Amino acid sequence: MGENFPKVSVIIPMYNAEKYLSVCLESLLIQTCVDFEVIIVDDCSTDNSVAIAESYLEKFGGRLKIISLSANTGSGAIPRNVGLEVASGKYVYFVDNDDLLIDTTLEELYNFAEEYQVEVVYMEKFFSCGEEPVPAELNLSAWCHTKSFSEEPTLETKNLAERLEKFFSSTFCWVPWAKFLRRDFLIDNSIKFPPMTIADDVVHTFKIICRAESFLQVPTPLYVHRENESSIMLKKRSPEQMIRFRTNPLITGLESLDEFMDGLEFFKQNPVLRLQVLNFFALMQIDNMKDALSFFEPEKLYEIFLREFSKAGSSQPALIAYLLVMNNLYRNELKALT
């Protein structure tokens, strides 16, 4: 692609990653493809992450950029968007700061994208490892264990209704690192991560599914995901903290999805599917807080939801809080009958 336009821009959102960052960056230094840039976007780390990143500037020989945000955003969403804004590669690959790549990852993903001339390449499988900085062993894992996996690279259908069936069955990978993306595809379609602490990857994936003309799934595992107990997803929370943690993405996610679908003729012609998308996302968030919901009486739940929706600036916080409480009661009654 040339000196100013590398093949790949690797974007790494960073926050307090001093334990794992060196391993992540070392895995990039050994890539068989060398025509790439690395963009680290620091979300106001309070440990030695920035110093560690800076120690790699010379090793990358001008291919490493470090951007520091002025205020902590609380998730990888905004840092990834910032990284995309300054990226110059033909393709973009989002990598988590505590994960790592095998040595041929960028070369193989780039070759898949070029050979099939697609906007999106996504991996069905990946490797996982434990919390030790240098993995002692790797385990082969898969996003969805209920489907049969392809043995060869397979182009996705262009039929959006069929893609949505897969979306509803969770057979698409939500996580950003499962997808290798053409940068101009993201830019031209204004596909960014919504400002959410969690589930931003679900909304982002949905937009990709709806907008991508060409979409390739590959069976080759090329990424090593670390099961980090200190990650934002696995952090221990009290029942009320868990409800609050899940409620904000519920609000922002529904708004982002609805606004996006409002601009697509397909959903104007298929209002049932539009409602199904919103329902799927809402139930995903509610199901993830179901254990926490069981700790409280309806009146306490109403109080919590009312407060959270009021903070979010909802025009009808009381009505929404009431509906969520009644939804929970109704689902519990159905569960008791089965």
pLDDT score of 337 more than 50? yes
Q: Look at residue 245 in the predicted model and tell me its pLDDT.
A: 87
Q: Is a pLDDT exceeding 80 seen at residue 83? A: yes
DSSP letter assigned to residue 263: T
Q: What is the tens place of the pLDDT at every residue in 258-277? A: 999 999 999 999 999 999 99
The beta strand positions in 47-132, using DSSP E, are 64-68, 91-94, 100-101, 120-123, 125-129
pLDDT at residue 232, rounded to an integer? 64
Q: Which secondary-structure segment (H or E) carries 169? A: none
Q: What's the CA gap between 201 and 75, in Å, rounded?
A: 11
Q: pLDDT tier at 100 (50, 70, 90 boundaries)?
A: very high
At 137, phi and psi to the nearest 5? -155, 155
Across the chain, mean pLDDT equals 91
Predicted local confidence at residue 231, as pLDDT: 66
Quick one: pLDDT at residue 319?
A: 62
Whether pLDDT at 321 is above 90:
no
- Is a pLDDT exceeding 70 seen at residue 148? no
Residue 30: pLDDT over 70: yes
Average pLDDT over residues 39-50: 98
Q: Report the C-alpha gap between 200 and 192 in whole angstroms.
A: 9
Burial of 96 (0-12, 13-18, 19+ CB in 10 A): buried
pLDDT at 81 over 60: yes
> What does the alpha-carbon distance between residue 252 and residue 256 come to, in Å, rounded to a whole number?
6
Report d(CA 325, CA 334) in Å as an integer: 14
pLDDT of 2? 47
Q: What is the pTM of this model?
A: 0.91
Distance CA 263, CA 290 (A): 33
pLDDT of residue 71: 97
Asked whether residue 149 carries a pLDDT value surpassing 90, the answer given is no
Question: What is the per-residue pLDDT across 230-253, written as a single tens digit (0 to 9) for each?
Answer: 666 667 889 998 888 888 888 889
| 192 and 81 Cβ atoms separated by less than 8 Å | yes
- Considering only residues 104 and 142, tell me which one the structure prediction assigns the higher pLDDT: 104
